[in-house]
Amino acid sequence: MSSTTAEHGHEGHGHDAGHGHHAEPNFFHKYLWSTDHKMIGMQYMFTGLLMAIIGGFAVYVFRMQLAFPGMSVPGWGRVTATDYNALVTTHGSVMIFWVAMPVLIAALGNYLIPLMIGCDDMVFPRLNRLSYQIFLISVLVLIASFYAQGGGFGGAWTAYPPLSAKAEYNLTTHGATLWLLAVALEFAAFLLGGINFVTTVMNSRAPGMKMFDVPIVVWMIIIASILFMASVGPLIAGAVMLMFDQTLGTGFFDPNKGGDPVLWQHLFWFFGHPEVYVVLLPAMGITAEEITTFSRKKLFAYKTVLYTAVGTGALSFFVWAHHQFIAGIDPRMANIFSVTTLLISIPVAEMCFVYIATLFGGSIRLQTPMLWALAFIAEFLIGGVTGIFLGASGADIYFHDTYFVLAHFHYTFFPIAFIATFSALTYWFPKMFGRYMNETWGKVHFWGTIIPFNFIFIPLFLLGARGDHRRIYDYTHFPDLMKPGMQDLRVLATLSLVTLLAFQLVFVVNFFFSMFKGAKAENNPWKANTLEWQAPSPPPHGNFPDGLPNVYRGPYEFSHPDRQEDYWPQNAQS
């Protein structure tokens, strides 16, 4: 610590003197080749949000096909079975790998970590830039795969062999390989980013910032990064094997040649299930920041949240086979994985309870970010509770691969990837752009998203409970799945989806209008304690022009009895 306090002795000598008075960097260096963590965060954010348009368009097209089979979908045309497979694959992989991951972890992590721990940048700025560039290449490869001969990959985002391994089954020789390459590049990008995040938080915290003074959202991003690093390895290995199966004709996953298709499922879900928590934890962290700020109350149990997050992370490595209960695994193994899966709901529920306890007795302000944060807890809870049905292997045999599963994980992933993202964007918008977003339109967008969201997935729960199977292109061929009322529920889900997508326009307009024309925001518009709010809005290069802050207390000192003001910034001396 002693070496770090020295840098404050001569303020203006360090980073600031080197950069502050230079000529303005040109467009290329400022926006495209920047090593500034805030710009890289923005690059991730805008790329992720653009990818959400692709993912959203895909779901619009295939949901229209399901509700109105054979119709010519406006903006696409008639949906063939091949199109359908490619669209569902694109929707799944884009929303998880190219929307949730880059926005929740890469964008927010990059933007927030150095600001919240009170330093001027990431420890490896050029590695950071490289990480975004590799990510951008992965995006381009993925988009290229849509135009390859045979079209985009249609083997679902889980890419189970033999469907994904053999061109004669998936019919997309190039699409399948390009998809796999894009996923592999994306993993490489996030590995670099993750190493950078963890090293930065371990080593570069502001003087005085101890382990338990780190804001929860930073902790969550770090735990998520470690989970990602520890779980993605086997899938990278698996991706290499699958690529050789596709291109060279090896037989890693082909029983005819001595391989085993279930091996892929193990490698995939060993990553795939921790991945759920990789995106969940940052979303929980965002919620923690907002719940405390908007109820003007100290976080109910800081350390409990932290320990439960670590516990969730550790447990998440032992639940993966609950995706494979009917894949022919040993039933004794299914029992073990049922138990671990049911166990993991305990720490997650505990986090929700802590947040509710934080609300209790607070002076709650229902501004847009807070609405999103509350909605996150409520909607995620439904996702979590329905997961218990699926974690129990006995019930899962019935529910497996039905719309019940689909509705369950959308009730977890939609709150994570969108509700939490919207809450983060509305909360940190004044910091990012120095202006407020419009509150009224923010609330219109909120209700216009939350209500249709429930009207999409409650019908799908009902359909799933009636045995409606996933991944079917045209239900009119299956009389059992066309019983009275079933098609009506599909139509209701699709119309709700179209409504939800339409309301996103409100957000886009509000976002860009506010960015340029919104009311000016001061440095600390929500009167929050964490360090990012003590920097100017938007923060300049180097973040803290008056010298990097020292930290004297934890991040959630709201409504302290000895103070006149109801907040107490982490860096305020008294």
Among 53, 171, 263, 381, binds another protein (CB under 8 A): 263
End-to-end CA distance of the chain: 21
Among 119, 344, 375, 493, binds another protein (CB under 8 A): 119
Q: Does residue 230 belong to the site contacting another protein (CB under 8 A)?
A: yes
Q: Does residue 329 belong to the site contacting another protein (CB under 8 A)?
A: no
- HEC readout, 381-420: HHHHHHHHHHHCHHHHHHHCCEHHHHHHHHHHHHHHHHHH
Total binding residues toward another protein, as defined by CB under 8 A? 58
Query: How far apart, in whole angstroms, are the C-alpha atoms of residue 372 and residue 354?
Result: 17
Query: How far apart, in whole angstroms, are the C-alpha atoms of residue 214 and residue 289?
Result: 11
Shortest distance in whole angstroms from residue 498 CB to another protein: 41
Query: Residues 517-556 vs another protein: string with x where CB under 8 A?
Result: -------------------------x-----x--------
Residue 360, both tokens: 């209790």
Residue type, 517: K
Residue 469 backbone phi and psi in degrees, to 5: -85, 145
Consecutive H or E run containing 118: none
Residue 387, both tokens: 């997961």
Helical packing angle, 368-391 and 403-414, nearest 10°: 150
Residue 527, both tokens: 């009167």
Listed in sequence order, the residues at least 6 apart from 415 whose beta carbon sits closer than 8 Å to its beta carbon are 283, 375, 376, 379, 380, 383
Among 90, 164, 177, 204, binds another protein (CB under 8 A): 204
The smaller minimum CB distance to another protein, of residues 268 and 503, is found at 268
Rg (CA), the chain: 24
Query: How far apart, in whole angstroms, are the C-alpha atoms of residue 559 and residue 196?
Result: 35
**Quick one: which segment of 41-49, 193-201, 458-466, 513-521 binds another protein (CB under 8 A)?**
193-201
Q: Does residue 124 belong to the site contacting another protein (CB under 8 A)?
A: yes
The smaller minimum CB distance to another protein, of residues 245 and 468, is found at 245
Residue 472 contacts residue 490 (beta carbons within 8 Å): no
3-state secondary structure of 290: helix
Shortest distance in whole angstroms from residue 117 CB to another protein: 9
Q: To 5 degrees, how large is the angle CA 364–CA 369–CA 374? A: 60
**Quick one: which segment of 238-246, 371-379, 425-433, 504-512 binds another protein (CB under 8 A)?**
238-246
Q: Does residue 74 belong to the site contacting another protein (CB under 8 A)?
A: no
Among 109, 151, 162, 194, binds another protein (CB under 8 A): 194
Torsion angle of C-alpha atoms 460, 465, 470, 473, degrees rounded to 10:
-70
Among 21, 126, 332, 517, binds another protein (CB under 8 A): 126
- HEC readout, 196-250: HHHHHHHHCCCCCCCHHHCCHHHHHHHHHHHHHHHHHHHHHHHHHHHHHHHHCCC
Query: How far apart, in whole angstroms, are the C-alpha atoms of residue 388 and residue 384?
Result: 7
Among 95, 235, 370, 382, binds another protein (CB under 8 A): 235
Among 43, 170, 200, 293, binds another protein (CB under 8 A): 200
**Quick one: which segment of 62-70, 199-207, 464-472, 565-573 binds another protein (CB under 8 A)?**
199-207
Q: To 5 degrees, how large is the angle CA 396–CA 398–CA 403? A: 85
**Quick one: which segment of 131-139, 247-255, 437-445, 519-527 binds another protein (CB under 8 A)?**
247-255
Q: Does residue 470 belong to the site contacting another protein (CB under 8 A)?
A: no
Q: Does residue 491 belong to the site contacting another protein (CB under 8 A)?
A: no
Among 150, 251, 467, 545, binds another protein (CB under 8 A): 251
The smaller minimum CB distance to another protein, of residues 13 and 563, is found at 13
Query: How far apart, in whole angstroms, are the C-alpha atoms of residue 89 and residue 92?
Result: 5
Among residues 219, 78, 52, the alpha carbon closest in space to that of 139 is found at: 52
Among 258, 331, 479, 561, binds another protein (CB under 8 A): 258
Shortest distance in whole angstroms from residue 320 CB to another protein: 13
The smaller minimum CB distance to another protein, of residues 27 and 516, is found at 27
Q: Does residue 145 belong to the site contacting another protein (CB under 8 A)?
A: no
Shortest distance in whole angstroms from residue 47 CB to another protein: 22
Residues 12-51 that bind another protein (CB under 8 A): 14-15, 18-19, 29, 33, 35
Q: Does residue 11 belong to the site contacting another protein (CB under 8 A)?
A: no
Distances (CA, A) of 171 to 82, 154, 164, 251, 288: 9, 8, 9, 18, 46
Q: To 5 degrees, how large is the angle CA 273–CA 498–CA 63? A: 60
The smaller minimum CB distance to another protein, of residues 251 and 536, is found at 251
Among 12, 46, 147, 203, binds another protein (CB under 8 A): 203
Shortest distance in whole angstroms from residue 246 CB to another protein: 13
Shortest distance in whole angstroms from residue 330 CB to another protein: 13
Among 150, 234, 540, 545, binds another protein (CB under 8 A): 234
Shortest distance in whole angstroms from residue 121 CB to another protein: 4
Q: Does residue 296 belong to the site contacting another protein (CB under 8 A)?
A: no
Q: To 5 degrees, how large is the angle CA 218–CA 221–CA 223? A: 105
Shortest distance in whole angstroms from residue 253 CB to another protein: 10
Q: Does residue 120 belong to the site contacting another protein (CB under 8 A)?
A: yes
Site for another protein, rule CB under 8 A: 1, 3-4, 7, 14-15, 18-19, 29, 33, 35, 114, 119-126, 191, 194-196, 198-200, 202-205, 229-238, 240-241, 244, 248-252, 257-260, 263, 267, 270, 542, 548
